[in-house]
Amino acid sequence: MALSLRPLWLGVAGLVGFGALLELVPRLGVVDDRFLPPTSRILSVLAEQAGAGPLWSAVGNTVLTWAIGLALAVAAAVVLGVVIGSVRFLRAATASTIEFLRPIPSVAWIPAALVLYGPVRAGTLLIVVYAAFWQMLVQVLHGVADVDPVARDTAYSYRLGRWARVRWLTWPTALPYAVTGLRLAATVALILTVTGELFIGGPGLGAEILRASAGGAVPLTYALVLVTGLLGVAANLLFRLVERRALAWHPAVRGEVPA
């Protein structure tokens, strides 16, 4: 028991040490504290903000944009992925197009988003959906293509209908891939949400960071950046949990739990 707790304590010590280092560097004058305020000042600004409304409404707005974008991207990718993935001809015919469209950097659409929607949430959603869609689509395609040939032949022998095949054959095969895709897409979508709020528009943490830094409120800028990081960590933990829940039956997950 003591052994398994050790990494946890070390991790906490690491975080505290990192905070202490960032406290000392400006205090000792290594770096100008106008550029890097001590940790205590950043945390006190954060605590002050946590008691007020605007921070939470910014967090809420970012989470909302992120969730809408992720939901749109995932829904589109799952439908298209299952259709394309289960028809051999479609898979072969679309492969080159997908390989071409996927590496187009999502930020290439920033000017287009500004022209088409203006500095509002919809513009940010455009780049969020674009970036998250490909992460998910590629995973779903891999998953659908991975159906075990014996299982597929068995399903045909038992004359499972189209719907039953999707439910009992494609779904469980593709699920692990899809869940991984979901986690990757969620991470990318969060990055692009904040990016969009910074460079396109719409309410949220990105907009607040821009306002704080333009107003010269350096400790507040740091505090807000810290909040985006915490949001990212929370999202990552959440989707790891989803992964474990959704795949509790899967040998890779079951094997992690000692019987």
Partner 1 sequence: MTKLPGWQGLQRVALVLGLPAVLVVVWWFASADSDHLVFRPLSEILVAFRETWLGPRLVEDVLPSLSRLARGYAASVVLGVGLGVLVGWSRTLRALLEPVLELLRAIPPPALIPLIGLFAGLGDSRRIVIIIAGCVWPILLNTVEGVRAVDEVLADTCRSYRVRGLTRLRQLVLRSASPQIMTGARQALAIGIILMVISELRGTVHGIGFSVEQFQTSFRYPEMWSGVLLLGLLGVALALLFRLADSWILGWYHGLRASNRER
> Residue numbers of the site for partner 1 (CB under 8 A)?
6-7, 10-15, 17-18, 35-36, 92-97, 99-112, 114-116, 190-191, 193-195, 198-199, 205-206, 209-210, 212-213, 218, 221-222, 224-226, 228-233, 235-236
CB nearer to partner 1: give 216 or 258. 216
- The CB-of-226 to partner 1 minimum distance in angstroms stands at 8
- The CB-of-202 to partner 1 minimum distance in angstroms stands at 14
- The CB-of-94 to partner 1 minimum distance in angstroms stands at 6
CA triple 63-67-71, angle to 5 deg? 175
CB nearer to partner 1: give 14 or 164. 14
CA dist., res. 139 & res. 70, Å (int) = 15
CB nearer to partner 1: give 155 or 224. 224
- The CB-of-74 to partner 1 minimum distance in angstroms stands at 19
- Any idea of the CA torsion for 39, 40, 46, 52, to the nearest 10 degrees? -170
CB nearer to partner 1: give 155 or 218. 218
HSE at residue 204, side-chain half, CA atoms within 13 A, is: 29
Cβ-contact 37, 219 below 8 angstroms: yes
- The CB-of-218 to partner 1 minimum distance in angstroms stands at 7
CB nearer to partner 1: give 13 or 71. 13
Question: How would you class 255 by CB atoms within 10 Å of its CB: exposed for 0-12, middle for 13-18, buried for 19 or more?
Answer: exposed
Q: How many CB atoms lie within 10 A of CB 149?
A: 7
